[in-house]
Structure 1
Amino acid sequence: MKKHFLAGLALIGAVFSAPASATVSLGDTVTCGGFSFECSTERATVGAGSEFGIDFGRFGTLLLADFTTGLLTISYANNPELPDGAPFGETFALFFSNETNPFTFAELGNVDGVEGLDDSSVSVDGGFVTVNLSNVTFGRDSSLQVKFDRTVTPPPAGAVPEPATWAMMILGFALVGFAMRRRTTATVQPLLA
């Protein structure tokens, strides 16, 4: 009975402590699409280098999309037709999905030299990540990152514990209390001669 109880606690702990987000790994198959943009290919395998070139047909490749573990980096492709960067109008968006491990979480990461972005520029719906680039300007040597896994950036020191941590602590205290109570309630039988 005790083994079953401990196994149950371990299972509950694993469920509560498992990350709720999906990440990107080498070998995953990812897709690319866009509104007012065209991707160099519809799907690619995550590996070394950029998976997608992105343009809107007039100036050639303007952006590069590079997936690495837990991150997507979208960078300006240093197009000679637009040496100062690339401004986009009101209706530009990119859509990505991971066919191997569907996205459940994404947020804006580091932004360098890109104007017009905020946290609402990145969203997840039905496994698809949308990066809204409407009214965004990419300067020379600019890039933005999209994080797919909450564990990419460690939490700040002194952060409030997550609910899973609280649940594990409470279950641990309950288990210790249960074990102590069983020990104190044991009866002593005197030996009769």
Structure 2
Amino acid sequence: MRLGRADRRWEATILIRIIPGAVALVFSTLAAVGPAHAANLIVNGGFETGDFSGWTQFGDTSFTGVFPAEAGYPPAEGDFLGVFGPAFGAGGIRQTISTTPGATYAISFDLAHMDDGGDNFFALVFDGVTYIDNVGASDFDWANFGGSVIASGTSATLEFRFYSGLSFWTLDGVSVTQVTSSAVPEPASWALMIAGFGLAGGAMRRRRPAIAVQTVRFAS
């Protein structure tokens, strides 16, 4: 079962659903709900061009690429997904977008970690601020992550950093949209995503034939 955009919604909680072959993790932005059809500022966020057009690769890209669904691992959406590692070296992709100083932006992306082997690392950086910095994540199927940030200038860079020992990270469905509300969680709230990675290592094990719902609330 694929996880599509229709499976996502903004709530006042972190919601984790475990279903056969797919996991949906929605990170709340509390009251920060954007326009229903806000434009995605990211170019080629789903890698549907079949390559990294619109993105800049950096670091070790020896085992990095865009692959079709037929390659053996289904994308979270569409027909392609980005794959990172193993390379025993840090690398990733970044993209710079135009922003309005002081405006709030919602970030959303689908992430999975294939095979639990060696040292692993993932980080999300926006506008020079690291919102997720995780080491040692176990394997888990597609999960959706999202949160809100405030731009400080007229442009900002979204950066995904990866390191894989004997495994692969997969990325899909990247989006950044401007929202209208100013209610935004503190950067520390993003740290709850790290807890999500921990859950991914256990309850969110890939292909686990179970259904569970866990809700984690946090203060505004």
TM superposition score normalised by structure 1: 0.31
Give the number of the structure whose residues are more often strand, by fraction: 2
Give the number of the structure whose residues are more often helix, by fraction: 1
Larger radius of gyration: 1
TM superposition score normalised by structure 2: 0.28
